[in-house]
Amino acid sequence: MEKAKTHCDAVVEQIRSLYVGDELLIEKILAAALANGHILFEDNPGLGKTLLAKTLAFSIGCNFSRVQCTPDLLPADILGTNIWRPKNGSFELLKGPVFTNILLVDEVNRSPPKTQSAVLEVMEERQVTIEGKTYECEEPFFVLATQNPIEYEGTYPLPEAQIDRFIMKLSTGYPRSLDEEKLIVKRRIEWKKDDPTRDLKPVVSGEDFRALQRMVENDIYIDDAVIKYIAEIVRKTREHPQVDVGSSPRGSLALLKASRAIALIRRRDFVTPDDIKTLAVDALAHRLILKVEDVMRQVDERKIVTKILDTVSVPKDYHPR
């Protein structure tokens, strides 16, 4: 536990030294990574999405590759392709960027649907199929995808069904105060360059990061009462009058995994109902499909999940072990 704390703190600290903003957001990002979950960052241009994703990726001693999505990006550009080697008289796989630990898919909604579904398939299966042959993904493997809100021109919105594969959808938001706004400018003066992530060194080795992931999986206890709390919240999303399709059980599992990870980050070996409350909106809201009239009225799914949290009674007598 002591060691885990040092490692988690080091990553949070490194992200904080570049990204100006919500501490809780940084905890959530790390939680998703520890849970080996894919994260979707969605927000307006220029709000630090790429900065955050890159900082996380560079802070963990894992392999990392990046794909900048464009409308002409082909599935093979991400997965890889077989090329003919005349010398050997055979085809050889030229591995694409997907053969890595952390895949940063920048501006995912600028890539055409065929390429999106290639990525999303790998996300779920954790294996890559190229011309009929299947290859396992590396361990750990997770995707950090960024996108601008779907109203922007020249984009292909991710299908709802595929958005479900992200453990959380997070947004960075605008700086919260004049001081934060100033700090961003001041840091830029200090760095003397636009991309401060270039000089970053990992603060946790790949081996240690995998050990943390194993702790999340094996050593963090969740009491029956807290499991029931998750299940009740998820069920309520299906009963809500403004919701056409509520969260699938995958949403419950996302909450389970992320809450165990955040427990570890917060130096506990058990999940509390408060962990669930902290994560529920980011882990569930993107899975809801609203009724057509509510989509037209631009009802916010996040507010619906927040309201649901107010109606589900919080377990008081859960056991820490």
Ligand X SMILES: Nc1ncnc2c1ncn2[C@@H]1O[C@H](COP(=O)(O)OP(=O)(O)OP(=O)(O)O)[C@@H](O)[C@H]1O
> Could you tell me the two tokens for 154?
């020249």
Q: Are 137 and 128 in contact (CB under 8 A)?
A: yes
Min CB(63)–Mg ion separation in Å: 21
Write each residue from 171 to 210 as x if it is in contact with ligand X (CB under 6 A), else as -, in one continuous string: -------------x---------x----------------
Q: Which of 35, 51, 263, 265 binds ligand X (CB under 6 A)?
A: 51
d(CA 29, CA 12): 9
Judged by CB, which is closer to Mg ion: 47, or 118?
Answer: 47
Min CB(116)–ligand X separation in Å: 17
The candidate with the shortest Cα–Cα distance to 236, out of 255, 220, 258, 221, is: 255
Q: Say which entry of Mg ion, ligand X, none residue 142 contacts (CB below 5 to 8 A, set by partner kind).
A: none
Residue in this structure with the two tokens 């902290």, named with its chain if needed: 278
Interactions with ligand X, residue window 122-181 (CB under 6 A): 146, 148
Is residue 109 near Mg ion by the rule CB under 5 A?
no
Q: In what order do the strands lie in the sheet with 142-147?
A: 64-68, 102-106, 142-147, 39-42, 168-170
- The residue with its CB nearest to ligand X is 48
Q: Say which entry of Mg ion, ligand X, none residue 48 contacts (CB below 5 to 8 A, set by partner kind).
A: ligand X
Q: With CB under 5 A as the contact rule, which of the stretches 48-56, 193-201, 223-231, 287-295 interacts with Mg ion? A: 48-56
Judged by CB, which is closer to ligand X: 48, or 273?
Answer: 48
Q: With CB under 5 A as the contact rule, which of the stretches 45-53, 95-103, 240-248, 294-302 interacts with Mg ion? A: 45-53
Is residue 48 near ligand X by the rule CB under 6 A?
yes
Judged by CB, which is closer to ligand X: 149, or 159?
Answer: 149
DSSP H helices, 136-223, are 160-163, 178-191, 206-218
Judged by CB, which is closer to Mg ion: 50, or 155?
Answer: 50
Radius of gyration of the chain, Cα coordinates, nearest whole angstrom: 20
Q: Which of 14, 36, 50, 116 binds ligand X (CB under 6 A)?
A: 50
Min CB(247)–ligand X separation in Å: 27
d(CA 280, CA 287): 11
Cα dihedral: 61, 62, 68, 72 (round 10): 170
Is residue 15 near ligand X by the rule CB under 6 A?
no
Min CB(7)–Mg ion separation in Å: 27
Q: Which of 20, 27, 29, 50 binds Mg ion (CB under 5 A)?
A: 50
The residues facing 41 across adjacent strands are 146, 170
Cβ-proximal residues to 300 (8 Å cutoff; 6+ apart), any chain? none
**C-alpha dist (Å) from residue 66 to 49, 53, 100, 175, 298:** 14, 10, 10, 26, 33
Q: Which of 19, 141, 166, 209 binds ligand X (CB under 6 A)?
A: 19
Judged by CB, which is closer to ligand X: 47, or 261?
Answer: 47
Residue 254 has what DSSP assignment? H
d(CA 232, CA 236): 6
User: Which residues contribute to the site for ligand X (CB under 6 A)?
Assistant: 19-21, 45-51, 107, 146, 148, 184, 194
